Chains A and B, each alone.
Chain A
Amino acid sequence: MTARRILIVDDDVELCELLADYLSQEGFELEAVNDGTLGLQRALSHEHGLILLDVMLPSLSGFEVLRRIRAHSSIPVLMLTARGDDVDRIVGLEMGADDYLAKPFNAREMVARIRAILRRTERRGRDERGSAPLTVGDLVLDADARQVERSGEPIPLTSVEFSLLEALLNAAGQIVSREDLCREVLGRDLSPYDRSVDVHVSNLRRKLGRAEDDTERIRTIRGVGYQYARTAGPVEDDA
């Protein structure tokens, strides 16, 4: 019920009005807030399925809003960063944004990004019948509950990180290309300067910590992609 409700935090009032109009045509309901402090309040109200968050905001910067949101919630956040500002983009992703959109953006592209994120998070609701949890080494990934546990201890992941881990665990031991990960997890093609996947992987590594034998869980295969390393234990394919 809340999935189609989107919150935008952006100080450009006219842009918000236009977007509300545009997104309503696409079947979304947009709530606009024009300042950071209020935006944070609304973001934590659990009334929205996704937040569009501009980096440059009066009273409280977009990054600060994001940091405080992430302290309480894993709600999908799509950052609106200044086009050409690579640092903002990377910082946003590192702080746990699900994806970014360079502003000025193409309206159709925005809807595509929103749909991709929502599709990912809504899948939980649709996959009613449930599948067995995926276990690789000391990690247990429950796709139904969208939860990951390491040795029985839950690890809080954002929805992108979860999807990324799911993609890697499903192909554990095999190399998954950056292009495939981008398409599968972010729902778009990898563009030349895009390092979103890499930033998400590095966030994921940090949250998961090192494997039991103190090796990197997710290996970088230079120029190709990533690989979740199977530990040489007996715990595999236990379904």
Chain B
Amino acid sequence: MRRTRSKPRSLFLRIFLFFWLAMTLIGAAFAVIYVSTTPPWVHKRKLAFISQALHAHGVEAVRRRRSNGPRAADSWNSDLHKRLGVRVHLFFRGASRTGPWKPSAEIRSLAARALREGRTVHRVLSTQERYAVPLRGEGLDGWVIVGELPQRPRLMRYLQPETLPLRILVIFLVSGLICYLLARYISKPIRHLQRATQKLAKGNLDARVGDAIRRRRDETGDLGRDFNGMADRIQALLKAQDRLLRDISHELRSPLARLNVALGLARQKTGPEAVSTLDRIEKEADRLNELIGHLTTLTRMESGADPVAREPIDLSTLVEDICRDTSFEGRPRDRTAVVTASEPLTVHGSRELLLRAVENVVRNGLQYTAASTEVEVRLERAETSGQPVARITIRDHGPGVPDDALGDIFRPFFRVADDRGRQSGGSGIGLAISRRAVLLHGGELSAQNAASGGLRVVIELPLAEGSA
């Protein structure tokens, strides 16, 4: 086994890592949401402390302003900003009294609120914390100091609650993409494998999974390789079966050929008393000849050794010919085949094979239909899954076939359990030949029991283009 690469190669590990990544992303998203949606909250003591500090600064600033002029207060404020990054604004009765910064409308309104309410008010935004503290003491009535604490760190600025919906959308899309890729990664090779399995089940013994799966080093790759191994084995077994059938029919030919000639010799050398026995031997020998012929035809078709001819064939003359010929044989037994509906329809293929296909079904019908009844053959144009087809329906008036055996009657040598038609002849592979010939022409063949009794076999063949 090729297990040498250090890259994660087990499907389990890949699924694990993919999910881990997805979970991590989801967790991170929750953390972000938590942080950014936590309501602004400031501890009471922190508030009291900040108020006191700001108050002290404000008192000093007012004192300096009074004794040394506004510039002295400005430089006191700038000094604080330089040292701690805190901006302060002084207001007297709603009017700005210091620089060096021009207060914004929000700061003005915060100052006005503090003056009106006579207590410290604060406002915590994602970017800043602002505190407005009314000054108390002698001659300080009407003064308010507003402090803007430094902006939050870069990350906090980045996690602005204002853009939260957008961020959630991004997380949603990203995790969706990852999960999609994961799902596809898992399901695609399985689909591929499924297609190959279906093809194999439909009888295409060459169906294998492709390199995309075989080259994988994970469990799917193992499964693909195992599937191919299994398909190889099935193909080999079926081929062996075909070969066995072919070899048997081939090997039986020589002794049977000699038997036939020896039979002729026996006829020449014996008197009339042996004639009836020899006739019987000849009849059985002919039956064996026919069986071997059918077997050879079937195995040749199964092996696909012969390409199917592509000549245009008019089915209406084909079914006429078949009914005429088989009726000729069936008339002594008081059974005939009739064409009940027909129209000129052309298919491409081998006349010989199609003739066999339809004729074997008609013959089968003649074998089982009740005395003085007819095997009815209908030829009509139909549509199957949007494709125009020629539909040939062959219906007899016999006992029909048990429902559970309907699918089996096209298998070689299949016989319905209480079949008494054996003595009337038939090699047991006529319908198998029909099925094979129809499949070779890209058609389909099925059997049902007619509601009023009797077997109905439907053959559908794809029509030649431009056929009327």
Residues of A at the B interface (CB closer than 8 Å) are 12, 14-15, 18-19, 21-22, 25-26, 82-87, 102-108, 192-193, 195, 222-223
Contact = CB atoms under 8 A, between A and B. Distances in A.
Interface in B279-294: 282, 285-286, 288-289, 292-294
Given A15-B257, A86-B352, A108-B264, A223 B297 contact: no
Interface string B243-274: 00000011001101111111111011100000
Contact of B261 (A22, A86, A193, A195): A22
Interface stretch (B13-21, B130-138, B317-325, B404-412): B317-325
Given A12-B257, A192-B359, A107 B263 contact: yes
B258 A18 contact: yes
A2 to B, nearest CB: 23
A83 B261 CA distance: 16
B257 A84 contact: no
Contacts of B296: 82-85
A191 to B, nearest CB: 9
A195 B352 contact: yes
B355 interface: yes
Given A104-B256, A222-B314, 12 more contacts: A14-B258, A15-B254, A26-B268, A82-B250, A84-B298, A84-B300, A87-B300, A103-B257, A104-B257, A192-B325, A192-B355, A223-B314
A77 B265 CA distance: 24
Given A18-B265, A86-B352, A106 B295 contact: no
B260 A25 contact: no
22 contacts: A12-B254, A19-B261, A22-B261, A22-B265, A22-B268, A82-B250, A82-B253, A83-B293, A84-B295, A85-B296, A85-B297, A85-B300, A86-B352, A102-B293, A104-B253, A104-B288, A107-B261, A107-B264, A192-B321, A193-B352, A193-B356, A195-B352
A128 to B, nearest CB: 33
Nearest to A102: B293
Contacts of A19: 261
Contact of B260 (A12, A14, A85, A106): A106
B106 interface: no
Contacts of A193: 352, 355-356
A84 B288 CA distance: 12
Give the interface SS of chain B, mostly helix, strand, loop or mixed: helix
A14 B261 CA distance: 10
A106 B297 contact: no
Contacts of A106: 260, 264, 282, 285-286, 289
Contacts of A192: 321-322, 325, 355, 359
A21 B265 contact: yes
Interface of B: 249-250, 253-254, 256-265, 267-269, 282, 285-286, 288-289, 292-298, 300, 306, 314, 317, 320-322, 325, 351-352, 355-356, 359
Nearest to B322: A192
B320 A83 contact: no
A106 B295 CA distance: 18
A87 B306 contact: yes
Contacts of A222: 314, 317
Contacts of A15: 254, 257-258, 261
A72 B182 CA distance: 74
Nearest to B289: A104
Nearest to B282: A106
B36 to A, nearest CB: 81
B261, B262, B292, B355 — most chain A CB neighbours (10 Å):
B261
B338 to A, nearest CB: 17
B317 A223 contact: yes
Return the 4 tightest CB-CB contacts between A and B, nearest first. A107-B264, A84-B296, A83-B293, A84-B293
B386 to A, nearest CB: 30
Nearest to A87: B306
Contacts of A82: 250, 253, 296
Contacts of A223: 314, 317, 320-321
Contacts of A25: 265, 268-269
B294 A84 contact: yes
Contacts of B293: 83-84, 102
A131 B390 CA distance: 52
